[in-house]
Amino acid sequence: MTDNFTYHSRKNVFYVILGIVFIVFFVRLIQLQFLYSEKYGKMSAENAIRNVAVAPLRGYMYDRNGILVVDNRPAYNVTVTPVEFENKNLELLTEILKMEKEEVLERIEKGKKYNRFSPVKIKRDVDFQTLSFVEEYSGQLKGIEYQFEPKRYYPTKAHGSHLVGYIKEITESQLQKLGDFYRQGDIIGASGLEAGYEKYLRGKKGFELITVDAEGKIIGNFNDGKSDIQPVEGDDLELTLDIKVQALAESLLSDKRGAVVAIDPTDGGIIALVSKPDFNPELLSGVTPFSVWQQLNTDPAKPLFNRATLTKYPPGSTFKMLLALAALQEGIIDENWRVNCRGSFTFGNKVFKDMHVHGSTNVVEAIQRSCNVFFYQLMLKTGLPTWTKYGKQFGFGAPTGIDILEENSGLLPSEEYYNRRYGKGRWTQGYLVSLGIGQGELGVSPLQLAAYAMALANEGKYYKPHVVDKIKEKESKKIIKVEPVMRQINLKNEVWNAVREGLYRAVNVAGGTGAAARVPGINVAGKTGTAQNPHGKDHAWFIGFAPYENPKIAICVLVENVGYGGVFAAPIAGLCIEQFLYGEIIRNKLNQPKIILTKTEAEQIRD
């Protein structure tokens, strides 16, 4: 009984509170649907308020010296608001925009699906003449407007196409996958840093509520713009790149096919990453004309292909140091172990060639002069498992983890690989001989070789290669430092010393194959290589680092289909090292003898 008694008094509290709620709702309905119904009816009929996205500025990119590498420039897009578009204007519009009717209609149709009242981009980055036509016919072309959208601009001489990457309009499938942030017609990073750091670079869209009249003409911003959201600029990237080295390397490879990768051995930062032939990223910064795409995709030189990270060629003699390190570290040989080179090596019934008759050779001399016979024998002595183990330690056969997304693992063969490929017991030691000199079933990328040169330079500190050093967040004003990731390859000091000495001598002592990489006033160490190419002329390799005493740059150069590495790749490496360490090319200003090899010297170089 007592319960019911209290319930009765408490019931009234609920009646009153709920009563008030429903009365407030009732009054609000009267207000909206009786008093203001005309106003809202008009707004609804005219669709008086539009929600228009405002494109943010994409983040800027700076090189290691603070030089602006990727910039933004104003550009204008022509847009159509689907609901207002009148089909009778199609003819005129296609004429002004110089587009196909089908393409215009397709774009309007796609935009309709999202929101018939939101302007959809029909053509990006129109020229001034088109813009003035749109302005001139604005009375006639209902629902057709133009809209500001920044465009990528590259202020330096370098392209950096494969490193920086390019942006493009988002595809239908990306739209479905990436959901909320993007709308049809939005720009998204498609390759390189633009893709790898899309999340940071894109910024945050702004939104404007625009009030329009019954004619669809813009009156102004709703609520005096107080309801608008300002766009937030994308985060800036500070790169480890040296844009001047990048530009130089690009120019040195300008009429060739090949790649240059230079790394800072103190932290793994990429100094330059060039793949040639390349493309002008400005052509791809938005809607790319179909003709340009077609040309890029069908060009037999494959300008879109990133040779620096995707190529899989045998590394040639640049791989000899790996075998030397493995054999020395495992105690299979010591520095005094000698081979008498007679210019060729016979194993079974097969003859393996050398370029010269080197005579009695130890490991340091074998690296200096690139003696093949020494390494044929050493490979048989060392065996495949040990060689593979060390190859893995130096990052071969696996992606390096660089932050520009696309790279190739390459191929580092192992016993397992041969068993799989030829069947267990159906391959012989003879298969391995050429691995000793970096030929045969072996594939590496210039990036992997550059990282290997880095580890030789800094005695085993294998940093993960990366291009971004710092991210400057715009909204929080924080600067995020990308901490270098390092893996130590532990070898004995004397092992490092022997191999490094070989590399020094290969460049600086007579009889070395890398003389063309010399730089005035700086000790360069390095190794040439030539990848045998069954389809044409051989590919030229060079890897090296400098200064020898305290390395600040490690480099790998690949020039395809030209011949010996010592002749074609080493000089490019020397110039890049010079540019990086001096900040300019000084060799022509000096009064000392020029480092140009004599004809006989050049003919001596056969690797």
Partner 1 sequence: MQNWFSENINLGILISTLLLVLIGLGSIYSATYDAGASDFFNRQLIWAGIGLVAMLIVMFIPFRTLQLISYPLYIFSILLLIGVLIFGKTVAGSKSWFGFGSFGLQPSEFVKVTCVLALATYLSDKKINLSRFKNLLVAVSIVLIPIALIIRQPDVGTAIIYVLMLIPVLYWAGASLTLMLIIISPAAAAVAALFGITPFLIVLGTLLITFFVLKENKLISAIIFSITVLVGVSVQFIYGKLAPYQQKRIDTFLNPEADPLGSGYNVIQSKVAIGSGGVFGKGFLEGSQTQLNFIPAQWTDFIYCVPAEEFGFVGSILILILFAYILFRSINVASTAKSRFASLVTMGVVSIFSAHILINIGMVMGIMPVIGVPLPLLSYGGSFLLSSMLMVGLLLNMYINRKEY
Residues near partner 1, by CB under 8 A: 3-4, 6-8, 10-11, 13-15, 18, 21-22, 24-26, 28-30, 32-34, 36-37, 39-41, 43-45, 47, 49, 51, 83, 115-117, 205, 207-209, 222-223, 226-229, 475-476
Find the binder of Zn ion among 358, 500, 527, 539 (CB under 5 A): 358
Tokens of 249: 């390397």
Report in angstroms how near the CB of residue 239 gets to partner 1 at its nearest: 27
DSSP single-letter state for residue 95: H
Binding partner of 420, given Zn ion, partner 1, none, CB within 5-8 angstroms per partner class: none
Nearest to 79 by CA among 181, 147, 150: 147
Q: Specify the residue, 115 or 288, whose C-beta has the smaller distance to partner 1.
A: 115
Binding partner of 205, given Zn ion, partner 1, none, CB within 5-8 angstroms per partner class: partner 1
Tokens of 485: 């990731």
Tokens of 296: 């890029």
Q: Specify the residue, 68 or 209, whose C-beta has the smaller distance to partner 1.
A: 209
Report in angstroms how near the CB of residue 405 gets to partner 1 at its nearest: 25
Report in angstroms how near the CB of residue 43 gets to partner 1 at its nearest: 5
Q: Specify the residue, 142 or 606, whose C-beta has the smaller distance to partner 1.
A: 142
Binding partner of 354, given partner 1, Zn ion, none, CB within 5-8 angstroms per partner class: Zn ion
Stretch that binds Zn ion, among 64-72, 353-361, 546-554, 576-584 (CB under 5 A): 353-361
Strand partners, 270: 263
Contact 385, 379 (CB under 8 A): no
Report in angstroms how near the CB of residue 425 gets to partner 1 at its nearest: 48
DSSP single-letter state for residue 82: G
Tokens of 533: 């190419």
Stretch that binds Zn ion, among 65-73, 212-220, 346-354, 580-588 (CB under 5 A): 346-354
Q: Specify the residue, 14 or 422, whose C-beta has the smaller distance to partner 1.
A: 14
Residues with Cβ within 8 Å of 570's Cβ and at least 6 positions away in sequence, in order, are 507, 513, 514, 515, 516, 517, 526, 528, 542, 544, 557
**Residue 371 binds Zn ion, judged by CB under 5 A:** yes
Report in angstroms how near the CB of residue 341 gets to Zn ion at its nearest: 3
Residues with Cβ within 8 Å of 423's Cβ and at least 6 positions away in sequence, in order, are none
Report in angstroms how near the CB of residue 469 gets to Zn ion at its nearest: 43
Question: Could you give the C-alpha distances from 545 to 184, 265, 350, 505, 526, in angstroms and in order?
Answer: 48, 9, 36, 13, 6
Residues with Cβ within 8 Å of 470's Cβ and at least 6 positions away in sequence, in order, are 237, 238, 479, 480, 481, 482
DSSP single-letter state for residue 436: G
Q: Specify the residue, 358 or 527, whose C-beta has the smaller distance to Zn ion.
A: 358
Find the binder of Zn ion among 341, 442, 468, 516 (CB under 5 A): 341
Report in angstroms how near the CB of residue 80 gets to partner 1 at its nearest: 16
**Residue 515 binds Zn ion, judged by CB under 5 A:** no
Residues with Cβ within 8 Å of 569's Cβ and at least 6 positions away in sequence, in order, are 258, 528, 529, 540, 541, 542, 557, 558, 559
State the amino acid at position 349 in one-letter form: N
3 state DSSP class of 354: coil
Site residues, Zn ion (CB under 5 A): 341, 354, 358, 371, 373
